[in-house]
Structure 1
Amino acid sequence: MATTNDLKNGMTLNLDGQLWNVIEFQHVKPGKGGAFVRTKMRSVLSGKVVEKTFNAGVKVEVASVEKRDMQFLYRDGEDFMFMDSTNYDQISISKQTVGDAVDYMLENADAIVAMHEGNPLFIELPASVELVVTYTEPGLQGDRSSGGTKPATVETGITVQVPLFIKQDEKILVDTRTGAYLGRAN
């Protein structure tokens, strides 16, 4: 058990038998009345995001979540096969559990899988990934009407807005949280 004063981003709580992942939290101390904690949480099962307010100091149950280093092996229909990096066990994870991480995962990519009572909850990727541009229009000299960016399709299939100087088959860094272009990869 912990109190709402101990909340941190990424913490998983067990509220009324459901698991919730804390996305944001804010301690508020108004001039009048007691302090409270405003949170934004995502349901681990459904992915639904809700805002919930707790009084300061209220006890909440922190779910025991084990984070394991895993490697994405391959996709098998709607399931994704991962291998535990420590004991080489392989597990199958559903597309719903993988979520938006599918847009940034290549075979043999490292990821952290959050497990609760032996069941995978969600996937955490590195802050940025290196992807190859598979298709983009050539940038024309002097073409600045679109703000200096153009769409580029990367090897996972998603489209990223990149600067005009990026060419096909170049490696770029993409932010896994926002999907934004970060720069050229080395």
Structure 2
Amino acid sequence: MAKINGNEIRPGNTLEHDGGLWVAVKVSHVKPGKGGAFAQVEMKNLRNGTKLNERFRSADKVEQIRLEQKDQQFLFEADGMLTFMDSETFEQIALPADLLGDRRPFLQDGMTVTIEYYDVEALNVSLPEKVTCTIEETEPVVKGQTAANSFKPAVLDNGVRITVPPFVGQGEKIIVNTETFEYVERA
């Protein structure tokens, strides 16, 4: 494990701080008129999801953790647990469904996800950035409605509500960004 200076922390870095594992969400470097410069870091705990704002001076040393990433295939869900299989060793692992949070509806059968491990502990599940979904219900397509920034509400086959352009109709397949829950394009 590598120790880095407080001013070298970047968003996405995994850090060991106060006995916990944290991921840096936002980092802003502040140079006040009086006193030394520091990095204001918003961190999220990888084990329980709590957030913490911390100041690190350039002289502060922080332990940077490298997480092992493995691609695994989603098999099924049972009793609030998601079962994944390692595509190389065929070992199966069951993780709590709340690890995905509000991105859970985008997980589809057979989907390959990236699971981050610290030793043998699974900490995070990353879905593919774009997923194909079908529109279950939306307002009908209106011919000639081509306003640049007009969007209409739609419900996807997984129950998620998003906004789509007016030319997209019910039953069409679209590509959705799993990070922002936004329409990307037609499939």
* Short-chain TM bin: 0.7 to 0.9
Matched length: 184
Partner of 2:24: 22
Partner of 1:155: 157
Partner of 1:82: 84
Change (3 A) 1:77 1:150: farther
Partner of 1:4: 6
Partner of 2:72: 70
* Of 25-34 and 123-132, the range deviating more from structure 2: 25-34
* Of 153-162 and 125-134, the range deviating more from structure 2: 125-134
* d(CA) in 2 for partners of 1:87, 1:11: 28
Q: Which amino acid aligns with 2:6?
A: T
Q: Does the CA-based 8 Å contact 2:7-2:57 persist in structure 1?
A: no
Q: Which ranges in structure 2 are unaligned for 5 or more consecutive residues?
A: none
Q: Which amino acid aligns with 2:20?
A: Q
* d(CA) in 2 for partners of 1:93, 1:116: 14
How far has the Cα of 1:100 moved from its partner? 2.6
Q: TM-score, normalised by structure 2?
A: 0.87
Q: Secondary structure at the match of 2:100?
A: helix
The partner residue of 1:119 within 118, 121, 124 is 121
- Report 1:34-183 matches (<5 A): 34-141=36-143, 148-183=150-185
How far has the Cα of 1:142 moved from its partner? 6.6
Q: Does the CA-based 8 Å contact 1:101-1:124 persist in structure 2?
A: no
Q: Does the CA-based 8 Å contact 1:106-1:156 persist in structure 2?
A: no
State the superposition RMSD in angstroms: 2.1
Q: Secondary structure at the match of 1:103?
A: helix
Q: TM-score, normalised by structure 1?
A: 0.88
* d(CA) in 1 for partners of 2:59, 2:73: 39
* Of 61-70 and 23-32, the range deviating more from structure 2: 23-32
Change (3 A) 1:88 1:174: same
Q: Which amino acid aligns with 1:85?
A: S
Q: Does the CA-based 8 Å contact 2:73-2:111 persist in structure 1?
A: yes
* d(CA) in 1 for partners of 2:157, 2:90: 27
Q: Which ranges in structure 1 are unaligned for 5 or more consecutive residues?
A: none
What are the Cα deviations for residues 165-184 of structure 1, in whole angstroms up to 9, with x where unaligned?
A: 11122121211111111121
Q: Which amino acid aligns with 2:26?
A: E
Q: Which amino acid aligns with 2:101?
A: G
Change (3 A) 1:144 1:165: closer
Q: Which amino acid aligns with 2:22?
A: W
Between the two proteins, what is the percent identity of the paired residues?
34
Q: Secondary structure at the match of 2:10?
A: coil
Q: Does the CA-based 8 Å contact 1:81-1:91 persist in structure 2?
A: yes
How far has the Cα of 1:121 moved from its partner? 0.6
Q: Does the CA-based 8 Å contact 2:43-2:52 persist in structure 1?
A: yes
